């Protein structure tokens, strides 16, 4: 079962890499809109994260306050990406907030 947990963590990290990598490509080339890689990376990280929130193997300890905060931030990231695409927003501050929230969630995962 631990190998399964590691497998989902691996998938979670690939989703995170796609989300942050996709964001950085856009931000550093001056295109302040989410791209396909971000739109795939977020649900991959999200679904794998939800699976990792199941306490397996038995006895595995999880910090549910931390996970709830991460869940809310991930939902806000998704909402902002959706609003940005729907309203065709191309301003740097709006897109930059998405990047900061991605980094915040990674920071919370590592430091909390
Ligand atoms: C944008 C969204 C997210 C990002 C950038 C992100 C980032 C990360 C990173 C970098 C790690 C590895 C850190 C470590 O293992 O110490 C991690 C682990 C983890 N994440 Fe996320 N995460 C996101 C969303 C979520 C969501 C929505 C959940 C579930 C509610 C979640 C649950 C977890 C769990 C449980 C682990 C630790 C796995 C373990 O120790 O067994 N994540 N996350």
Region 1-29 average pLDDT: 98
> What pLDDT is recorded for position 102?
98
pLDDT band at 112 (very low <50, low <70, confident <90, very high): very high
Predicted pLDDT at 50: 98
Which two structure tokens, joined as six digits, stand for 11? 């998938």
Q: What is the DSSP letter of 54?
A: S
Q: Is the CB of 49 under 6 A from ligand 1?
A: yes
* Ligand 1 mutation target, pool 39, 70, 74, 98, most atoms within 8 A of CB: 70
Tally of residues, the chain: 112
Helix-helix angle 92-111:64-86, to 10 degrees: 160
Displacement of CA 87 from its chain's centroid (Å): 21
What's the pTM value of the predicted model, to 2 decimals? Answer: 0.95
Q: What is the pLDDT of residue 109?
A: 98
| 27 in Cβ contact with 93 (< 8 Å) | no
Question: 11 falls in which pLDDT band (50, 70, 90)?
Answer: very high
Q: State the residue for tokens 């791209």.
A: 35
Provide mean pLDDT across the span 6-29: 98
Q: Minimal CA–CA distance to 4: which of 45, 57, 44, 77?
A: 57
Pocket test of ligand 1: the residue of 41, 49, 56 to mutate, having most ligand atoms within 8 Å of its CB, is: 49
């Amino acid at each position: 079962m631990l190998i399964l947990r590691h497998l989902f963590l691996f998938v979670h990290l690939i989703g995170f890499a796609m989300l942050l990598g996709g964001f950085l490509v856009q931000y550093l080339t001056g295109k302040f809109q989410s791209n396909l890689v971000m739109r795939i990376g977020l649900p991959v990280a999200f679904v794998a994260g939800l699976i990792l929130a199941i306490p397996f193997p038995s006895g595995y300890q999880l910090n549910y306050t931390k996970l709830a905060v991460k869940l809310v931030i991930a939902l806000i990231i998704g909402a902002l990406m959706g609003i940005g695409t729907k309203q065709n927003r191309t301003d740097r501050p709006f897109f930059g907030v998405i990047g900061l929230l991605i980094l915040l969630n990674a920071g919370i995962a590592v430091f909390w």
